[in-house]
């Protein structure tokens, strides 16, 4: 069977008119003789509304009941899509995760799909049916409803593509694909035709909001090609695939930037084993995400300065935790709110010398000072003043010929 998995995000099914448009897209694939599996998110705003209701009920709302509650949003969207397909005389029905079933393990609110039963859906596809499957949810070994966390509907679609050996997995959203940088920040941003899993994973983890990192990782591990495209315009999107499928790479594929970052520096920390762990353990316990860690050892080898970044909304909590931590000693604690992280990403830099120099020289030419540097095999990130973000994006975009 020639199977395609189509996933529609919350903005794609956000209104009745948009759901009618989604059904047009589904029908177009059916006309091309595909066996279509549809995965839907909840209508935009519904999940947040349900979460707010849970908070009004209790400050300690049960995780198990949270999953039951928030998964109901997908159920409603699936029913509406199936209802519209039935309106046109097509065979369709909604499927909840427990009806298939989609099996998960892990904790409530953040489970992972481990198995999908194929028999019922295969039988339904062969009969000409179009299954509309609720994304973001599964069931555990206790037959309780679970949810898959941020980007859960994408993960559902990717795993369905894996278990049903689909020819295509298409993620429909409100943008036309993945761009070289955020088009809302820079109008010369260009749509990327093909990008590797590794590059997309870096871009997603650095703030690109097209897909969540965990979904990209699932696709990479299972070698599922993904096309990201808009449900509102009929244009080619961005293909996310393995490196070997990309015939020619630019040195740099994309540039990302973050907002609302703050820099924290501990000056004069005693340099001995276990100090870094003592600093970051309480931050981790309080769910504070730490980024861009840099350590400088003093000339006498007895002290170190430790710098890292956190989101600005976590700064007050971070300061309180560090000052109350009796396991560490330091001479001064410095904070800087007005910073932004700029990153260049590309597998081409692995085999191309001089990329680091070009980035640093480009920023220097614009009189942009670099405060912190962090690198990986296919990424270079720098911390700069937030007010210089737009200037840096424009200069780097031009330097690496992304315009």
Tell me the CATH number at 123: 3.40.1160.10
What would the pLDDT profile of 316-325 be if each residue is shown by its tens digit?
999 999 999 9
- Residue 333 token pair: 């604690």
- Residue 383 token pair: 């911390």
What is the SS3 assignment for 208? coil
Q: Check residue 304 and give its pLDDT.
A: 87
Cβ neighbour number for residue 64 with a 10 Å cutoff: 15
Instruction: Give yes or no for a contact between 341 and 307, defined as CB atoms under 8 angstroms apart.
Output: no
Rounded to 5 degrees, φ, ψ at 154 are: -60, -45
Q: Are strands 112-116 and 102-105 parallel, antiparallel or unpaired?
A: antiparallel
Give the integer Cα–Cα distance in Å for 180 and 298: 39
Assess if residue 212 is contained within a domain: no
- Residue 200 token pair: 């997309």
What would the pLDDT profile of 119-157 be if each residue is shown by its tens digit?
999 999 999 999 999 999 999 999 999 999 877 899 999
What is the SS3 assignment for 310? strand
Assess if residue 52 is contained within a domain: yes
Give the integer Cα–Cα distance in Å for 113 and 239: 23
Q: How many degrees, rounded to 5, is the angle at CA 291 between CA 287 and CA 294?
A: 130
Instruction: Give yes or no for a contact between 226 and 171, defined as CB atoms under 8 angstroms apart.
Output: yes
Instruction: Give yes or no for a contact between 184 and 106, defined as CB atoms under 8 angstroms apart.
Output: no
Q: Check residue 207 and give its pLDDT.
A: 65
At 188, the pLDDT band (50, 70, 90 cuts) reads: confident
**Mean pLDDT, residues 279-283 taken together:** 93
Q: What is the DSSP string of 346-390?
A: -GGGGS-TTHHHHHHHHHHHTTPPP-EEEEETTEEEEEEEGGGHH
Q: Check residue 61 and give its pLDDT.
A: 96
**Mean pLDDT, residues 217-241 taken together:** 93
At 173, the pLDDT band (50, 70, 90 cuts) reads: very high
Please say if the pLDDT value at position 295 is more than 90.
no
Assess if residue 355 is contained within a domain: no
What would the pLDDT profile of 302-313 be if each residue is shown by its tens digit?
788 899 999 999
Give the integer Cα–Cα distance in Å for 225 and 203: 17
Assess if residue 80 is contained within a domain: yes
Residues in the chain: 403
**What is the domain extent for residue 43?**
3-174
- Residue 235 token pair: 């244009």
Distances, alpha carbon 213 to alpha carbons 149, 171, 306, 334, 340, in Å? 11, 14, 27, 31, 20
Stated as kind and residue range, the H or E segment containing 279 is: helix 275-285
Q: Give the residue, 177 or 270, on which the prediction is more confident.
A: 177
Assess if residue 242 is contained within a domain: no
Tell me how far apart the terminal alpha carbons of the chain are, to the nearest angstrom: 41
Q: Give the residue, 372 or 151, on which the prediction is more confident.
A: 372
Cβ neighbour number for residue 220 with a 10 Å cutoff: 19
- If you average pLDDT over every residue of the chain, what do you get? 92
Assess if residue 243 is contained within a domain: no
Number of domain units in the chain? 1
Q: Exposed, middle or buried by CB within 10 Å (0-12, 13-18, 19+), for 178?
A: buried
Please say if the pLDDT value at position 209 is more than 90.
no
Please say if the pLDDT value at position 248 is more than 70.
no
**Mean pLDDT, residues 242-255 taken together:** 83
Assess if residue 66 is contained within a domain: yes
Strands (E), 96-212: 102-105, 112-116, 130-134, 137-139, 145-147, 168-173, 194-196
Assess if residue 100 is contained within a domain: yes
């Amino acid at each position: 069977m020639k199977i395609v998995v189509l996933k529609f995000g919350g903005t794609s099914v956000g209104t009745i008119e948009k759901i009618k448009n989604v059904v047009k897209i589904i029908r177009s694939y059916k006309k091309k003789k595909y066996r279509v599996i549809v995965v839907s998110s909840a209508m935009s705003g519904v999940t947040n509304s349900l979460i707010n209701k849970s908070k009004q009920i209790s400050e300690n709302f049960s995780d198990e009941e949270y999953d039951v509650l928030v998964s109901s949003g997908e159920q409603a969207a699936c029913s509406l899509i199936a209802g519209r397909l039935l309106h046109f005389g097509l065979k369709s029905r909604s499927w909840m995760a427990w009806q298939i079933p989609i099996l998960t393990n892990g904790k409530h609110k953040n489970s992972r799909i481990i198995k999908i039963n194929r028999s019922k859906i295969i039988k339904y596809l062969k009969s000409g049916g179009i299954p509309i499957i609720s994304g973001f949810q599964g069931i555990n070994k206790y037959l309780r409803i679970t949810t898959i966390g941020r980007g859960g509907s994408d993960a559902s679609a990717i795993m369905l593509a894996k278990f049903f050996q689909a020819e295509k997995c298409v993620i429909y959203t409100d943008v036309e694909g993945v761009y070289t940088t955020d088009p809302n920040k820079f109008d010369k941003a260009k749509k990327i035709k093909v990008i590797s899993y590794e590059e997309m994973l870096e871009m997603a983890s650095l703030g690109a909001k097209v897909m969540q990192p965990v979904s990209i990782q699932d696709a990479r591990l299972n070698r599922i090609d993904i096309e990201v495209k808009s449900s509102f315009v009929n244009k080619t999107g961005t293909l996310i695939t393995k490196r070997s499928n990309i015939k020619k790479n630019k040195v740099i594929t994309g540039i990302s930037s973050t907002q609302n970052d703050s820099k924290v520096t501990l000056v004069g920390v005693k340099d001995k084993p276990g100090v870094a762990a003592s600093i970051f353990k309480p931050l981790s316990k309080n769910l504070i995400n730490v980024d861009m860690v840099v350590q400088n050892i003093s000339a006498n080898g007895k002290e170190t300065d430790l710098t890292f970044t956190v989101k600005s909304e976590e700064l007050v909590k971070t300061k309180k935790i560090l000052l109350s931590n009796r396991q560490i000693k330091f001479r001064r604690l410095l904070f800087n709110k007005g910073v932004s992280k700029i990153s260049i990403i590309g597998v081409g830099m692995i085999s191309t010398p001089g990329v680091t120099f070009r980035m640093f020289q480009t920023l220097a030419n614009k009189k942009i000072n670099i405060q912190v540097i962090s690198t990986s095999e296919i990424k270079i990130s720098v911390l700069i003043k937030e007010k210089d973000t737009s200037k840096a994006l424009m200069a780097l975009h031009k330097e690496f010929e992304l315009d």
